[in-house]
Amino acid sequence: MNSTELISLIALLEDDDREIVTHVEGKLLELGAEVIPVLENQWEFSKDVTHQQRIENVIHRIQFRKLKEEFKVWLHSEDQDLLHGVYLIAKYRFPILDKQTLSNEIDKIRMDIWLEMQYDFTPFEKTRIINYVMYQVNAYKGNTDNYHDPSNSFINQVLESKRGNPIMLAVVYMLVAQRLNLPIFGVNLPQHFVLAYKEVEADPDFNNRFNQVQKALNPKEGTVLFYINAFNGGAIFSKLNLEQFLKQISIEAKVEFFEPCSNLDIVKRVLRNLTGAYEKLAKTQKQKEIQELLFLLGEPDISHFDNITGVDDYPSEEE
């Protein structure tokens, strides 16, 4: 289809006949992402609000279809890279987001920490350096004023505003720590998300970080030295504190609440929080689309969230 034909087709989105509009939308969806620049150009020239809204809808549907394909590729990748996973989530709201920009921001924090770090520091001392740079130098903080705002689930907005919810602040913390080769991992704690500093014995055959991470995810491997609350200034606490928290919220203590979780678990939990945020704003269509992404990632029941893996409550002071 040449450009003239494409422009004529887009013009039909202005038609009053819903059947014609539906047919045109279907054709444009078939053509895919390559027509987006023309759609955007025609949106600028259009004087009709309804026409503009229909063009916006087609662009979003094309981008969302492409995003689902990207999530499928990520799901079946070997390492399910965490940065790429949360980058894809952010692309739902910011389709032309540049991943390298995110990586550069994380590297800036890593470099600030590296300059303060010494080789012979203990794990506790290394964590205190991360906390100093993250929460004092860079002023990261839990978004207590707008805890359920969708922006808390988009890593680009968290990096920009330095405000986020427990899991996204933990993601930033993790990404920085792991670029420093520090064994800090996410823990899928009920109603809150924390981090674990877990040392795993190095294997001469395991030069690949992916293999080291796989070992860390095994409860029988290594030792969790302590836990970190990224939402509360990097506060360090013990397994006993976790046990007390679970007792406080009347949840039976299980092994998985004390051990690192996978990147897939983290990405799904970010999506659950985003679903909850859109539900609170009555953004039904956005909520439905995020649930589609959860279903694509293997969520067995996208209509129900339990108190273990579902939407995070606002954490109490004790957490």
- Tens digit of pLDDT for each residue in 211-231? 677 778 888 788 999 999 999
Q: Token match 């907005």: residue?
A: 157
Question: Which pLDDT score is estimated for 215?
Answer: 79
pLDDT confidence tier of residue 311, bands split at 50, 70 and 90: low
Residue 248 Cα distances to 55, 189, 282, 310, 316, angstroms: 51, 13, 31, 18, 11
For residue 258, is pLDDT > 50? Answer: yes
Cα 162 versus chain centre, distance: 15
Would you say 249 and 191 are in contact if contact means Cβ atoms under 8 Å apart?
Answer: yes
3-class SS at 136? helix
Alpha-carbon distance of 274 to 305, in angstroms, equals 12
pLDDT 10s digits, 36-61? 999 999 988 888 899 999 999 999 99
pTM: 0.89
**CATH 1.25.10 residue ranges for the chain:** 3-75
Percent of the chain with pLDDT over 70: 91
| CATH topology for the 3-75 domain | Leucine-rich Repeat Variant (1.25.10)
The amino acid present at 161, given as its one-letter code, is S
Cα 130 versus chain centre, distance: 21
